[in-house]
Chains A and B, each alone.
Chain A
Amino acid sequence: MRTSFMRPAVALALLAGAAAPCPLAAQLTFAPPAAPANVGGYLHVEECLAASARIRDSVDAWGAHWADTLALVERQKPQASIGHTRDAARRCADAQPRGDADLVDFVQWFELHLYAGRDDRAEALIERRLAAIAPRAVVERAAVLDSAVAIAAGSVRPARLALAERLLDLRDEHDSVVTPRELYFTPFTVMVRAQLAGDYPAAVRAAHRIVRLDERATRATRERANRTGRVQIVFMARTRVTMDSALTALRTRGPEAYVAIRRDTWARASGERPNALAIPIGEAAPELAADVWIGDRRDDAPRPGKGRVALVTWVSPNCGDTCERAYATVRRLAARFPELEVTWLASTDGHVHSRVAPTVADEAALMRETLIAGHRLPGALALEDAKPWYLEAPDGRRIEMPTPNEEAFSFVRGFSKAGNAYIVDRDGTIVEHQDLSNALNNALGEEVFDRIIRILLDRPAAAAGGAR
C-alpha cells in the first residue's frame, strides 16, 4: 500500500537516481504502510515519549538504507517519517490532562515538546526549570543544562543545534562543576549531530568549543576525562579545527606538511610525541598482495598503481551490513572521481554468511555475487587466502593466519578491520586514513577524503615522470 507519506521519499529517491547509478527498486521495495502510532491509550508522558522514540528509531533505521544512495545528510532523510513522530507526539501530549505543569517531569516533557515540533514550549519549559533552581545550586543548574543539550542535540530528529548551542553557552559558566565526562561529551554530541546533519559551521563551532574548554581545564580534570574518551574527543575536535589549514598545507606544500599538522594535532590532544600517532600516514604504502583478484581491475599492474591516486578499503566476506556505510561512501567517491584507483582488501573466512566456501576460488565466486554484484562495488578486490588450519577433533575449528596485507599493517592495532580505508598519493605515500564503518567517521571521512582526493588528483607526482 503506497500512501502520500511516500511521495517526498520517492521524489528524493528519483533525484538521487538521476545523480548516480543506484537501485531505485531497493528504495521502493519496502514501503512502510500508513500506520501512525495509536496513542489513545497512553496514560503517561513516558509512554508518549517511548512511542515517539520508536518512530524516531524507525527514521534512523531507514536512514541507514537511504545512505545507500543519498549523501549522509540529515535534512535529506525522509522528512515525512519525522512528521509521523511529530504527529504522534502532539496527539499524545495533548491527551495528558496536566500537561507539563509538573517540573518533576521536565526531562520527559522537554523531549516530547521537541518531538512534537513545539520548540517554543520546550524553551519556555527550560526557562521555568532554570528559574526554579536556587542561585547557589550551580551543580543542579549544570546538570539540567547538560540533560537539555543531550536531548536537543542527541535524541530528537532533526537535532535542534541552535538551541543546543545556546544552552551550552549557559553551561560554560559552570564548567568547573560539570563532571569530566559530561564536560567533553556534551559539546561532542553537538559536534557529532552537526556533522551528521551536514551543518559544518555548527560542527566547527562545537569543535572550537571543545578545544577551548580543554585548554581551560585543569590537568587533573583532563586526566580524569581521559578515562572516558577525552583524547579521542579532543583529537577529533582539533582535527576539525585544523582541517582547513592542513588541507591548505597539503595543496601548497605537499603531504609531508599535511602529515606534520595531523601529528601535531595528535600531540596536542594526547600530550604524547607527534610520532606516537598510531596511524601510518606519511609512510610508504606497501604493495598489495592477492591470491585472487575480482571485480574491475583495469590492468595487471601492482596496486597501489604508480602515478595514481588510490583509495584502499578493508572489507570482509562477512562484514555484511556493518560495512554498508563504507560501501556507499566509496561508491560515491568513485563516481565523483573516475580516475581514482579503488581497491578493496579481504582475506578468506571459509564462508560467506551461511554458505561454505571450501576454496579461495569458491569464496571469490560468492564474493563476486554478494559483494561486487550485490553491493555494486567499484574497482577491484584483492582476496587473500588466510591459509587456515584446523584444531583436532572433536573441536575442529578453523584457525586463520595473518595474511601479507594484514601483516604489512600489523603494528597498527585494528587497522585491517573491515571498514578502514586509506588514501595513497601518486608517490605512494599514505596521506589519510578513516574508519568508514563508523557513522561519525564516515560523515567526516567522506568530506575529508573528497577534499584530499581532489587536491591529490591536481598534484603531479613529486618523483620524475610521476612514477614511484
Chain B
Amino acid sequence: MSEQNGRSWWDDGARRVLSREACEEIAARVQRFASGGGSTGVTITSWWNGELRWGRNEVTLASDRRSVVVEIERTRLGGPQAAGTASCNQLDDESLRAAVRAAEWAAGLENPTRRPPLTPQQPDLALPETRIWSDTTHDVPATARGEVARAMIEPAAREGMLSAGYLEVRTQSVAQFGGRETYRSHPLTTQPLYAAATQAQCSLTVRNRAGNASGWAGASSYDWNALATGELAARALEKCRSSADPVAIEPGRYTVILEPQAVHDLIQPMFRPMEQREHNEAFPSYPFHLGMDEALGIGRTKLGRPIMDRRLSITHDPADPLQGVLPFNGRGDPYRPITLVENGVITALAFDRYYAAGRLNEQQPLPFAGAYRMTGGDTSVEEMIRSTRRGLLVTRLSNVRILDLSSMLCAGHTRDGLWLIENGRISRPVRNFRFVESSLVALNSIEQIGPAVPVFHPARDPAHAALHSAIVPALKVRDFSFTSSVDAI
C-alpha cells in the first residue's frame, strides 16, 4: 500500500506513534477531501500501549497494542453556523473521505441553538515547556517489563504471599490542525499543534493467603526509571505483613493520619468542580458557589474567600516535571500555571474560551489539566504518629463517591492497611472502615502537614492528556468520621 494511503506509517516498527510529519500529511489529505467551503479541524491521536498484568503471582496478560484515531470536525460558516464531527481509525483515502462526509452530515443534524464553533487560537500561541517525554519509556521492551514484574512478584511469593498488579508503558502523540478559518484557506494564520508524551505506571497489591492482610503501593511518571519498582514491591509487602489479623474497633470520629495517597483519594473529586467556574457561579449545588447577588443579578463564587486551612496552597504548573501534562488541551488551548488555592484562599477556578471572552474580556481560557501540587508543611509521618495519643493511620481510600456536591461530602472506605495509633506508636492493625466525610471539612480540620510527594494518579483521559500527576502531602486530620466497619481488606 502506498504511503499516501496511510498504512506505511505503521510499517516502521521503531516508531510507535505518528510523527509530526505523518500527522501533517494525514491532515492535508483530510483537508483535500473537505470540499464545498466551511472549515475543517483535524485531531490525530496515536498511541502505543505496552501492558503486563499479573495475579496470584502469575503473569496473566502481556500485550503490545497501538492505534490511531482521526477526529474530523466540519464547520459551516456564514448563515447558520453548525459543526459536525466524525472519527475513524483507518488512514486510507477512502476511510478518511467517508469520515469527512459523515462529519458534514452530522453538521446538518446539529442543533442550531448550540454555541457557535470556536474561533482559532492565536498563531503566536505560547505553549508551556513541559517535560513529558522519556526515551527510556518509549523504548522499554516487553522482556524488560517481564523481568521487572518477576522481580516484584518474587519477594511476595518467597514469603507465601499473593501478589497482583500491573505495569504499563505508553507512548502517545496528539496533533491538532485548524478549526474555524483553517490553515487550508489561511495556511499561515493557524498554528498546527503537536505533542508526544510517554507514561509509565505501576500498581500492585500483596495479600496473605488467609485473606486478612493487604498492602498496596503504586507510582506513575512519564519516566520509566522513576517508578522505583523495587521500592514499591517492598512497601506493599511490608504493609501486608504488618496489617495481618486486624482487630475490629468501634466506628466514630478519630484523628487520622492520611498518607499522601489517601489525601489524594479524598480530595480528588474536588478538582472536577474547580474546572467549571461557570457552573460554580450558576448552580448552588456546586461547592464553590457562594450565592446570588441580588443587586447585580449574578451568581457569586467563593473566589477570594478562605475554603481550607491557611497553611495549604494548591498549584497547577504544566512546566513542573513532576506534574507532566501535555502543553495544550483538546481544544488547542495552552495550559498555564494556576494558583488554585493560596494560603487556604481559593484564587482561581478554571474556565473555557467562551467564558473567557463572554465574562472576563480575555482571549485566553484557563484550562486545568487535573495535575496539581499541594503544599503547606514538612512534618514527617513518623512525627505525626509520635504526636498522636489515639488515632488511625490510613494507607489509602477506595470507592470514594460524592454524596453531596455542594459540601463535597464523600463516602468510601479504607483499604490496604489501617492501623490504630496509641500514645504515639502504632499499636495494631484494625479492620477497615467506611467513612462519610467532607473533603472541605477535613481540609479545615488539619493539625499537621507533611512534605508533598508524588502519588499514584493515572491519566483519566489518555486521548488528550499525559499523566495528570499529583504531588500531595500527608495530613493529620482531627475528627474524621468513620461510620461502620467493613469486611474489605
Contacts and interface: CB of A to CB of B under 8 A. Distances in A.
Interface of A: 1, 23, 25-26, 28-33, 35, 57-58, 61-62, 64-65, 68, 318, 320-322, 324, 349-351, 353-356, 358, 374-375, 392-399
Contacts of B363: 355-356
B362 interface: yes
Contact of B298 (A26, A375, A397): A397
B112 A61 contact: yes
B113 A58 contact: no
B304 to A, nearest CB: 5
A351 B363 CA distance: 9
Contacts of B300: 395
B105 A57 contact: no
Interface of B: 36-38, 74, 76-82, 101-102, 104-105, 107-116, 118-119, 296, 298, 300-301, 303-304, 347-348, 353-354, 356-363
Given A1-B101, A35-B105, A351 B113 contact: no
B104 A30 contact: yes
A321 B114 contact: yes
By secondary structure, the B interface counts as loop
B357 A321 contact: no
A61 B357 contact: no
Contacts of A350: 357-358, 361
A29 B101 CA distance: 11
Nearest to B359: A397
23 contacts: A1-B101, A25-B36, A26-B76, A30-B38, A30-B107, A61-B110, A61-B112, A62-B108, A64-B80, A68-B80, A321-B116, A322-B112, A324-B79, A350-B357, A353-B116, A353-B357, A354-B116, A354-B353, A355-B357, A355-B363, A356-B361, A356-B362, A374-B78
A241 B99 CA distance: 51
B108 A61 contact: yes
A398 B358 CA distance: 8
B119 A68 contact: no
By secondary structure, the A interface counts as loop
A25 B105 CA distance: 16
A375 B80 CA distance: 8
Contacts of A62: 108
B36 A29 contact: yes
Nearest to B36: A29
B105 A321 contact: no
Contact of A354 (B118, B303, B348, B360): B118
B308 to A, nearest CB: 16
Top 4 nearest A-B pairs (CB, nearest first) are: A351-B357, A321-B112, A29-B36, A26-B79
B360 A397 contact: yes
A392 B36 CA distance: 47
A395 B301 contact: yes
Contact of B361 (A61, A68, A392, A398): A398
Contacts of B105: 30, 32-33, 35
B118 to A, nearest CB: 5
Contacts of B77: 374
Given A30-B76, A349-B358, A356-B362, A394 B348 contact: yes
A65 B79 contact: yes
A213 B37 CA distance: 53
A31 B79 CA distance: 16
Contacts of B357: 350-351, 353-356
Given A321-B112, A324-B112, A374 B79 contact: yes
A303 to B, nearest CB: 26
B313 to A, nearest CB: 14
Given A23-B79, A29-B38, A30-B107, A351 B116 contact: no
A72 B109 CA distance: 18
Contact of B79 (A1, A32, A68, A358): A68
Contacts of B356: 354, 356
A213 B358 CA distance: 47
A355 B119 contact: yes
A323 to B, nearest CB: 10
A321 B112 CA distance: 6
A57 B358 contact: no
A399 B109 contact: no
A34 to B, nearest CB: 10
A83 B76 CA distance: 25
Contacts of B101: 1, 33
Contacts of A322: 112-113
A54 to B, nearest CB: 8
Given A61-B112, A320-B116, A394-B348, A399 B361 contact: no
A406 B116 CA distance: 25
A68 B82 CA distance: 14
A32 B74 CA distance: 13
Given A320-B116, A395-B303, 10 more contacts: A1-B101, A23-B78, A30-B38, A30-B105, A61-B110, A321-B113, A350-B358, A353-B116, A394-B304, A397-B298
A25 B353 CA distance: 30
Given A29-B37, A321-B80, A355-B119, A64 B360 contact: no
Nearest to B354: A354
B108 A394 contact: no
B78 A65 contact: no
Contacts of B304: 392-395
Contact of A399 (B38, B112, B116, B298): B298
Given A354-B118, A355-B119, A394-B304, A26 B78 contact: yes
B97 to A, nearest CB: 9
A349 B361 CA distance: 9
A28 B108 CA distance: 11
Contacts of B114: 321
